């Protein structure tokens, strides 16, 4: 099966939504982020309202998705962001990407806007697409929603869905994807994609790939050998082969805290006294003690297995293993040092359909404003439940950190282009500050993960506290990341390919074997650069300027302990990040 079809759904067509199936046309050869950003930049008016009929929601598996390639099941979801006002690609794991790939669909494009408040479910099967109104699903949390879908469609389908936050069109709303056990735990969290899905009147997309098989490579032997070498490279790397499988992404809590770059109490300092209590080793130990899992794959074909299963003290399932950014945002950033509280917040975010990072940042801002005390876990849970209820305060918080800070009169609001920063202070990791400032996505650590080199020593070393070399590092990583997002590969494979030339070549050979065409290192870089050019161009046409490629001014003025530094990369250097693309 080749991914040679696009599903185009017009939610505002006449009396009922319409579905057409079309070829790839000018989008041939694209996948993942390259597909979503190409469609957005080509078809979405840059000045349109993000919740209006002219915006589009694009869901695209990666170029390698649907194949037997390991780590190849990431899904890209793109639109004009209601959070940033610019282009957005939000990335999720789970089962949907592989299943869409096996069904032969390179993208689902949802456009238009319903004339009324009818809520729809969309079913995608080998036989085609069916759209059905179902107002009984209104305001269901993602967990209850998936249970209803399982009752109707069985145990083998995957879901792409929104919770109440998406229906309320809150700008921190996420889109949930189900994991192999049909739990709605893998989220396209950033940028308010859930609000756009809600504006289209779509509650859930159900994917049934019954009787489909892996996509067949053109050169099977080349693909098979490349997959073997790629697997070996990932398993041999100390981070992807040892650290992440043993302790999950939360292994980074101790690492960043030791490095003095772990933002605490709304970015006031770089070390948290309770880090060991909520860190990776403590979390894995607690999960194992409670008959959960310290190691779990968010999708079939994952060999890193950096997730897990978190149970309560009675052994009952609560949520998937909270990821590092979630533990930080709702832990150290809020002064909370209780894993049960953090896990409950994670559960609520997944159920309501909210970005854990923007919401954790909003909570810390609310604490800074005096709505709760830092460290008060019960108050944090109560505030997030306000979002689920749709109260006035809840809608403010659910609009994300930038809106929360503005409404509550707080200066220290760690956002760029309206999107909250992640678990790395840009003063303690100067390279990630460059990425936060200049990524077309707004503050986004995954867009160019400079932490790899600044802190972890992957792909070389570079002093995290000095500005020298950070612009080049961020640029190169932003290019590489855009390519990985387009291939549908998990970002963590970057650890292996940056340090292992054989693993990098094997990744290229996976594409060569699949397509029968030559995919070289130059092609890999050109793919990422082309994606970034389109994204930057869209933002420019949407009204963005160099002034939007800046960190909040307090990062340049406020001394950051324990290093007593400020963000030192100059504005003129930030303006050169994309000069060489």
Mean pLDDT in residue range 75-92 = 98
DSSP 54-118: T--EEEEE-TTTTSS-TT---EEEEEE-TTTSSEEEEEE-SSHHHHHHHHTEEEEEEES--SS--
Structure confidence at residue 54 (pLDDT) = 98
Helix (H), strand (E) at residue 379:
helix 377-389
With 80 as the cut, is the pLDDT of residue 1 above it? no
The answer to whether the CB of 439 falls within 8 A of the CB of 276 is no
pLDDT per position as a tens digit, 321-358:
999 999 999 999 999 999 999 999 999 999 999 999 99
Residue-wise pLDDT tens digits, 23-40: 999 999 999 999 999 999
Tell me: cis bond preceding 562? Omega within 30 of 0 counts.
yes
Each residue of 242-251: pLDDT tens digit?
Answer: 999 999 999 9
Annotate 264-294 with b (16+ C-beta within 10 A) or e (fewer): bbbbbbbbbebbeebbbebbbebbeebebbb
Q: Residue 534: which H helix or E strand, with range?
A: helix 521-541
Region 237-241: mean pLDDT is: 94
Helix (H) or strand (E) holding 329: helix 324-330
Give the C-alpha separation, 318 to 300, whole Å: 22
pLDDT > 80? residue 195: yes
Neighbours of 479 (CB within 10 A): 22
Element of type H or E holding 257: helix 252-259
What percent of the chain has a predicted confidence (pLDDT) above 70? 100
Burial class (CB in 10 A: 0-12, 13-18, 19+), 124: buried
Q: Are 230 and 522 in contact, with CB atoms under 8 Å apart?
A: no
Q: Is 368 helix (H, G, I), strand (E, B) or coil?
A: helix
- Per the document, the length of the chain is 581
Q: What's the whole-number mean pLDDT along residues 197-216?
A: 97
DSSP 8-state class, residue 156 = S
Q: pLDDT category, 386, cuts 50, 70, 90?
A: very high
Task: Report pLDDT for 14.
Answer: 80
Per-residue pLDDT tens over the stretch 267-304: 999 999 999 999 999 999 999 999 999 999 999 999 99
- How far apart are the C-alpha atoms of 181 and 260, rounded to whole Å? 37
Query: Does position 454 have pLDDT exceeding 70, yes or no?
Result: yes
Exposure string over 368-400, b if 16+ CB within 10 A, otherwise e: beeebebbbbebbbebbebbbebeebbbbbbbb
Query: Could you give all domains of the chain from N- to C-terminal order, each with its CATH number?
Result: 5-207 (3.60.9.10), 217-247+426-581 (1.10.599.10), 263-413 (1.10.569.10)
Q: What is the mean pLDDT of the chain?
A: 97
pLDDT tops 90 at residue 204? yes
Q: Find out whether 443 and 421 touch, Cβ atoms under 8 Å.
A: yes
pLDDT for residue 110: 98
Q: What is the mean pLDDT of residues 431-437?
A: 98
């Amino acid at each position: 099966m080749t991914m040679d079809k696009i599903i185009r759904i017009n939610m505002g067509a006449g009396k009922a939504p319409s579905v057409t199936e079309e070829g790839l046309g000018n989008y041939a050869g694209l996948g993942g982020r390259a597909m979503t950003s190409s469609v957005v930049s080509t078809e979405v008016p840059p000045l349109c309202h993000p919740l209006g009929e002219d915006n589009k929601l694009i869901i695209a598996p990666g170029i390698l998705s649907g194949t037997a390639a390991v780590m190849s099941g990431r899904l890209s979801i793109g639109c004009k962001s209601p959070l940033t006002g610019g282009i957005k690609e939000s990335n999720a794991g789970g089962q949907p990407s592989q299943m869409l790939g096996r069904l032969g669909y390179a993208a689902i494009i949802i456009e238009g806007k319903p004339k009324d408040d009818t809520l729809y479910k969309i079913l995608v099967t080998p036989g085609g697409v069916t759209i059905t109104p179902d107002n009984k699903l209104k305001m269901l949390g993602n967990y209850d929603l998936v249970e209803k879908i399982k009752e109707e469609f069985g145990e083998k389908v995957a879901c792409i869905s929104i919770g109440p936050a998406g229906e309320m069109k809150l700008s921190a709303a996420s889109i949930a994807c189900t994991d192999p056990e049909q739990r709605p735990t893998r989220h396209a969290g950033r940028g308010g994609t859930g609000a756009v899905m809600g504006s289209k009147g779509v509650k859930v997309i159900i994917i049934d790939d019954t009787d489909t098989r892996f996509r067949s490579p053109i050169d099977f032997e080349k693909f098979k050998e490349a997959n073997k070498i790629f697997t070996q490279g990932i398993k041999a790397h100390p981070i992807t082969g040892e650290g992440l499988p043993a302790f999950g992404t939360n292994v980074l809590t101790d690492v960043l805290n030791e490095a003095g770059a772990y933002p605490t109490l709304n970015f006031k300092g770089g070390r948290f006294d309770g880090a060991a209590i909520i860190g990776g080793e403590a979390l894995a130990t607690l999960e194992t003690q409670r008959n959960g899992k310290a190691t779990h794959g968010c999708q079939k074909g994952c060999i890193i297995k950096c997730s897990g299963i978190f149970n309560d003290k009675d052994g009952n399932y609560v949520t998937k293993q909270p990821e590092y950014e979630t533990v930080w945002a709702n832990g150290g950033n809020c002064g909370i040092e209780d894993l049960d509280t953090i896990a409950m917040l994670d559960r609520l975010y997944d159920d309501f359909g909210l970005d854990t990072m923007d919401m954790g940042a909003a909570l810390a801002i609310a604490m800074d404003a005096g709505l709760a005390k830092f460290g008060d876990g019960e108050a944090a849970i109560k505030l997030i439940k306000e979002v689920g209820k749709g109260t006035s305060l809840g809608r403010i918080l659910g609009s994300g950190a930038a809106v929360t800070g503005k409404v509550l009169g707080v200066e220290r609001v760690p956002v760029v282009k309206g999107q909250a920063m992640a678990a790395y202070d840009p003063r303690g990791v100067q390279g990630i500050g460059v990425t936060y400032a200049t990524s077309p996505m707004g503050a986004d650590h995954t867009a160019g993960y400079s932490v790899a080199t600044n802190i972890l020593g992957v792909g070389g070393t570079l002093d995290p506290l000095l500005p020298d070399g950070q612009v080049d590092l961020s640029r190169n990583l932003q290019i590489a990341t855009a390519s990985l997002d387009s291939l549908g590969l998990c970002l963590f494979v970057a650890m292996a390919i940056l340090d292992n030339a054989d693993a990098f070549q094997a990744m290229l050979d996976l594409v060569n074997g699949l397509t029968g065409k030559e995919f070289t290192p130059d092609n890999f870089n050109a793919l990422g650069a082309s994606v970034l050019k389109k994204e930057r161009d869209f933002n420019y046409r949407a009204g963005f300027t160099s002034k939007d490629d800046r960190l909040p001014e307090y990062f340049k003025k406020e001394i950051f302990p324990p290093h007593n530094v400020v963000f030192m990369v100059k504005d003129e250097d930030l303006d050169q990040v994309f000069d060489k693309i």
